[in-house]
Amino acid sequence: MRERTTRRKGGFFLRTLKGQEGDTMELGGLGWIFAVNLIIWTGLFVFLLRIERRIAGLEAGGKGR
Amino acid sequence: MTRTISLGLRAALWLVMSLCIWGAFFYAWSDPAFIGQSSRILFFHVPMAWTSFVAYFAAAVWSGRYLWGGRQPRHDRAAAAAVECGVLFGVLATVTGALWARIEWGAFWNWDPRQTSIVVVLLFYGAYLALRSAMADREIRARISSVYALIALVVTPFFYFIVPRITDSLHPEPVINAERKLDVDPRMFQVLIASALTYTILFFWIHNLRARTQALADAREDDPS
């Protein structure tokens, strides 16, 4: 008899968030910590890009944006 | 064209760092020797400490270039920016280490040799920044700071790599342990190396921005109009 397999619900992103231990979308779980880390890193990245653009503007003699 | 390549490299940095964050939580195993998931802080704490050392080393290299490479102000600015970045990453490493210590040892601060040695180095470079801010003349400031940063390069490796190995410590064994063997799970090692490299690249980007900002500030000071 063919064994019934359980498939995790959700698309690739949600399945990834659930990760290896499957309890991760609870508040404080790995999925949440990953999401918060990603948001902080993306925020820092955008901030650095904006600073770089502003410095380039000032170096070019303008006021920067 | 150059702008497209530059943006592409930055996008690659974002992607690799995001992959490192993903790997830290979902690819690498959680070490069962530690409470809960606390071992995962390794992928952030160790690269931060590593990057602070790279920054201090880079500061010494730029200081040497200043002293023996024609006394160019850009080398002094680069050295100062590297120390600032090193202090920033050093503080982050100390804070993440203290958070981990609270979980594992029950207290944020334990006067462990490794905790103490990184703080001694932070104080050493804090003094560098205080010394710089105490001198108005740029040339004298650059010369004295460069000598200080070179002397610091003798002190820093001692506190980073030797003190924690010659004293009894609660701190986990380094990745390469006292017997010079790699003592870490392969998946953890892969994420750790990728993370350390990405943090190093991030340091050079932040450093570049800081040095350029200081160059603009100096130019404005020279010509206020």
- DSSP-assigned letters across all residues of A20-42: TTS-TTSTTSHHHHHHHHHHHHH
Tell whether A12 is covered by a domain.
no
Torsions phi, psi of B173, nearest 5?
Answer: -55, 145
The closest CB to that of B10, out of A16, A49, A55, belongs to A49
Residue B75: how many CB atoms within 10 A of its CB?
Answer: 22
Cα torsion angle, B69, B71, B74, B80, sign: positive
Tell whether B20 is covered by a domain.
no
- Average the pLDDT over A2-11 and give the result: 49
* Chain B interface with A: residues with Cβ < 8 Å: 10, 13-14, 17-18, 21-22, 25-26, 37, 205-206, 209, 212-213, 216
Q: Looking at chain A, which residue has its C-alpha nearest residue B216?
A: A59
- State whether B13 and A45 contact (CB < 8 Å): yes
Q: What is the per-residue pLDDT for B24?
A: 93
The closest CB to that of B216, out of A30, A48, A59, belongs to A59
- pTM over 0.90? The answer is no
How far is the C-alpha of B198 from the C-alpha of B194, rounded, in Å? Answer: 6
B24: nearest Cα among B44, B53, B49, B7 = B44
Residue-level length of chain B: 225
Tell whether A64 is covered by a domain.
yes
Domain range spanning residue A64? 26-65
Tell whether B27 is covered by a domain.
no
Q: What are the chain B neighbours of A51 within 8 Å (beta carbons)?
A: 209
3-state DSSP assignment of residue B182: strand
The amino acid at residue B117 is S
Tell whether A18 is covered by a domain.
no
Q: What is the per-residue pLDDT for A64?
A: 47
Residues B113-128: tens digit of each pLDDT = 889 999 999 999 999 9
Tell whether B113 is covered by a domain.
yes
Tell whether B224 is covered by a domain.
no
Q: What are the chain A neighbours of B10 within 8 Å (beta carbons)?
A: 45, 49
Residue B43: how many CB atoms within 10 A of its CB?
Answer: 22
- State whether A42 and B10 contact (CB < 8 Å): no
Q: What is the per-residue pLDDT for B132?
A: 95
The closest CB to that of A30, out of B17, B25, B216, belongs to B25
Residues B175-213: tens digit of each pLDDT = 656 666 667 788 999 999 999 999 999 999 999 999 999
B152: nearest Cα among B116, B132, B123, B130 = B123
Tell whether B26 is covered by a domain.
no
Tell whether B17 is covered by a domain.
no
- Structurally, chain B folds into a number of domains equal to 1
Domain range spanning residue B52? 36-217
Q: What is the per-residue pLDDT for B65?
A: 97
- Structurally, chain A folds into a number of domains equal to 1
Tell whether A13 is covered by a domain.
no
- Average the pLDDT over B6-13 and give the result: 91
